[in-house]
Every structure is written in C-alpha cells, then in structure tokens.
Amino acid sequence: MAVVKVCGTETEYGIQTIGMPDTNPIAASSMLVNAYVADVKRRAAWDFDDESPGRDARGYARKGSAAPDIETHLANAVLTDGARYYVDHAHPELSTPECSTAMELVCFDKAGELILERSMEAASRVLDPGQEIVVYKNNSDGKGNSYGCHENYLMDRSVPFARIAHQVTSHFVTRIIFAGAGKVGSEGPGSSAGTITFQLSQRADFFEEEIGLETTLKRPIVNTRDEPHADPRRFRRLHVIVGDANCAEVATFLKVGTTSIVLAMIEDDFLSSTGSDLTLASPVRAIREVSRDLGLSKPLDMATGRQMTAMEVQWELLRLGRKYAEDRGLECVGGSDPGGAILDRWEDVLNGLESDPASLARQLDWVAKKQLIDAYRERHGLPWTSKRLAALDLQYHDLRPERSLFRRLDTEHLVAEEDVERAVYEPPETTRAYFRGRCLERFAPWIASANWDSLVFDLGSDPLRRVPMMDPLKGTAAHVAALLDECETPQQLIERLGA
Amino acid sequence: MPEREQKRHRAPERETPEEAEEVAPSAKGEKLKAEMDDLLDEIDEVLEDNAEEFVRNYVQKGGQ
C-alpha cells in the first residue's frame, strides 16, 4: 500500500532591485528575508505588550516568532507555519511545510506568496525612498537563466528508484499541458529566436538529460537527489525539479495532485500490472515538443514504436488513476473525497483542453497568460518580438498586488482567503510540520536549531536536547496538540517526550 | 513512420453540473470582450513604463 503522499514545494523567486545599483541579488534576498522576520517579531512583541487578546483574531499575536537557524551567514529562518524561508543561489526561497494533500499544499503555497509580498512591504519600510526590492514567481529571466519551483513527495524506500524514474517521466513531460506557466519565446540550447512565439512551459527549455543529480546545469527530467529528511530505511523523498511555478491555484492543485496519484500507482506497481506502457522514446526531445505544441496535437514517439500525443498520455494516466482508485482506494492522497476531487478536476481540465483550451483561462496559467498576451498584441498591433510582450510575461508573475497582472485576472480560487492568511502563521495539522511550527510559536527562545527532521532545544544548564522527527506523519495535531497545550515550559515538553 | 495510435482514451462520463449562467453565447462573448478591454486598459496603466529597459535589466543569477 502506497505511503501517504506527503508533499511540499520549494520556490525560488526571481528578484529585482530598483534604485539600488550597488546591491547584489544575494544581499537583496537576505534583506528581504531579514526584513520579514524582524517585522513578524515586532508585530508579535507589539501584540503581546498591548495585552489585548481580542486582537488575536487576525492571527498575529503569539504566533509570530521565528527562530533563526544559525548554520550560515545568509538569512535562514524557520517560520511558525513550519515553512523554511532562506536565501539560496542568489534568490529568496520558500519551502512550504510538509502537507498531506494537494489541496493543503495549494493553501501553503499561496501563503508562501503572501509571505514574500509582506517581505517586500517590510523591506520597503527600511529602504530609502526610491528604492525597492521586487519578487517574481516565475522560472526564467528570458535570457537563458532559470530558477526552480521544486516539488517533494514522500515515497516508500522499498520501491526501486529505477521503476520510479522509468514510469514517472512521461507524466513529467506531458503534465505541462495543464501545469505549464506559459512563456513568450524560447531560450537555451537549440532555440532559434523568433521561431517560437509562445510555449506552454517556463522550464522545458532547460532540461537536457533524462536522469541525474544536477539541479543548476544539464538539468535532468528526473532528479536523483537522495536526501530523505526522514528515516532513510523507510522513506524516500522524491525531489522533482522539472515543474513550473504556478500562480493559478487549479494549476498547482493539478500539478501536485496528479503527480501524487501517479507516484502512488508506481509505488504499488499498479502501472506495470495494467500492461500499459507509456514510455517515451526520447523524453528530452518530447518535453520541448510538448511545450511548443500550442495545438496540443503533436504526436510523440513512444518506446513501443507507436505515437501518442501529450493529451493521449494524460487521458491514459487518468483512466489508470480511476481504475487505481476503484481497485486500491485513494487513502494515500487523503481518501476518496480530496483524492476523487483530483481525478474529477483532471478529467474536467483534459476535456476543456480538448474542446476549447481558452475555456480554461480561469484555471491554467499558460492559457490565462496566452489570452492576455494575444489580446494585448492585437490591440497594439505588436510583433511577437516586442519587448512589451516580454514585459507582460514577466509582470504576470510580479508579486506586488498593484503590479501583478495575474492578480487582475478573475482566476478560480480553491482555498479561502482566511485559510491562506492562517497558513502564514499556523502549520498544517496533518504532518510533523505541526510539531515544528507549534514549538516555534511557543518555545522559540529555547530552540537552538530547527530542521526538517529534528528540533534541538537549548534549555540552559543541560546539554542540548534533540527531538528527532524521522517520520513525517508523526507529530501531527492528533498526536501532540494536547501534549503541547499541557506543557507550560519547554522543560516540561522535553520531559514528557523523554527526549 | 510508426503506426499512429488510434485508440482514444476517454474517461467515463460524469454528470455535468448545470450551467450557472444562462447567457446567450453571443452576449457572453461580448461580455468577455468588454471585460478584456477593461483589463487591457488597466494593463496599459500598470505595465512598466520602459518595457525595453525593464526586460533588459531583469537578469537572474545562479538558480536551480
């Protein structure tokens, strides 16, 4: 039986400074993260001093503190919602807390955007007039430089990695038809300027290998990084680097939801048992073909010698997903309710893509962006090479509310605004992120370091006390909420845990 | 050329919810067009002033 598909995203945001010619992107990213952390602490202190519990309604009070993780001079914070917010490769990066369903992850992914938005506001308060730090949730600068939105999925260690890599590749290549964030033009090796006007994916241009360990050059479709951040005898964390950063909630939901189901089918060796072979003859060639095929009709060469379109591969995966749900159930993706919602939405979107892709402008990033750019191009009579279209593409992903073009579109929301607001401060209840987040909220001054798989407490006189969290499904609200409520001090908590 | 796979993969039919909005297609099309026109007006206002410079300056280093 497949393990629960605990999942999370790590988003590297594009960063741009205005009026700060001497500031490099690493320094700007650090300023951004530090400004946010300082601002949250200030709010928490203010709420506390004010002794006005009524103000807690907005979720600020006593939920604000963040513990710095002192392993590097770069900004690096673990937040009370269980997320990690830091500087990586000259970008601000936010890793969501571990979530147990795709829908939960949509909420925490959006909360991540809100954290970046508030970071920009916090930075603007300490910068000089005329200076500004701006972040973009995209994956490319249009000049051949890419930065990622990685996904992570919990898998059973006993599943042979070769099977995962072999079977998941066709999903990674073809899910672009709904998970692509859209891009004007093309970049990287083999691209000839002007011939590609628009493509479905931000990232497809940058993948040159089928499988490998790299993440910054010669990027592989399947990444082999083996760093489980959990008990390595029981678990694997599949690190997925091939996806686009999505703004549209439905796109994120489907990207993560369909991948969770496909991985569960691989884990239970269900795909092999159906006799279905969706192996692509040349995945690297295919990922570019799919991304550049706006008509969604290009036949891809399959290893069997036949051809299938990306749509056909996705229809087949959906058919198998429905069969898997009937035969094995959907416990590992949250049960029949949230799991079934993934299958239903998957089907709706494939139907929409087949009959009229434009009908999905409220659901999918690439469709929304394409529609916007087409209309703008038509109104101003612009050629595809116009810099104004490239600007429009970038600005779609601008996280400043007053500048974001995505925000101006009436896209479909799957999670309520108040839930996203809460997810900025409160952890998910269904994974170990709950224990991490609640401990940081309650006992931050005594936490020497917070990592994915442990918390280290410094209680003063004793040696440091490490609380291991090797199972991502332990430390949930069901396990530890009562215990945490009963403990008034970190000493009591450590004693009760026997750590 | 390898033989093109003809088989269509159709998921089973599901009940489709009733249309929330009962607007004639042409009226709906005009409404969408009007909305898009308004949006384009807004975009003209918020789009970075100097698109060429904005795009040229947007350079990202070292990403994963």
Q: Which DSSP string do the residues of A46-99 spell out, in sequence order?
A: HHHHHT-GGGGGGS-TT----EE-TTSSS-EEE-TTS-EEEEETTEEEEEPPPB
Q: CA–CA distance from B44 to each of A221, A331, A372, B36 (Å)?
A: 38, 48, 12, 12
B34 lies within 8 A of chain A by CB: no
Give the CA angle between residues A459, A465, A468 to the nearest 5°: 140
Q: Among residues of chain A, what percentage have pLDDT more than 70? A: 92
For position A149, what pLDDT does the model report?
98
Residue A336 or A149, more confident? A149
DSSP H stretches of helix in A356-408: 365-380, 387-396
Chain A residue with the nearest C-alpha to that of B44: A376
**A373-391 pLDDT per residue, tens:** 999 999 999 999 999 999 9
Q: Do B43 and A405 touch (CB under 8 A)?
A: yes
Task: Find residues 1-30 of chain B whose CB sits inside 8 Å of chain A.
Answer: 2-5, 8-12, 14
Chain B residue with the nearest C-alpha to that of A344: B14
Q: Do B58 and A14 touch (CB under 8 A)?
A: yes
What number is the ipTM of this complex? 0.88
As annotated, the active-site residues of A are 88
For position A56, what pLDDT does the model report?
29
**Single pTM value for the model:** 0.91
Q: How far is A350 from chain B (nearest CA, A)?
A: 10
Which of A74, A141, A278 would you mutate first to test chain B, the one with the most B CBs within 10 A?
Answer: A141
Q: Do A315 and B40 touch (CB under 8 A)?
A: no
Q: Do A90 and B11 touch (CB under 8 A)?
A: no
Contact (CB, 8 A) for A280 and A169: yes
Which residues in chain A have Cβ-Cβ distances shorter than 8 Å to B57?
16
Q: Do B52 and A307 touch (CB under 8 A)?
A: no
Res. A194 pLDDT band, cuts 50 70 90? low
Q: What's the average model confidence in pLDDT over A35-60?
A: 55
For position B2, what pLDDT does the model report?
44
Q: Please tell me the least confidently modeled range out of A52-61, A101-110, A174-183, A223-232.
A: A52-61
| Cα(A459)–Cα(A469) distance, integer angstroms | 19
| Cα(A8)–Cα(A239) distance, integer angstroms | 10
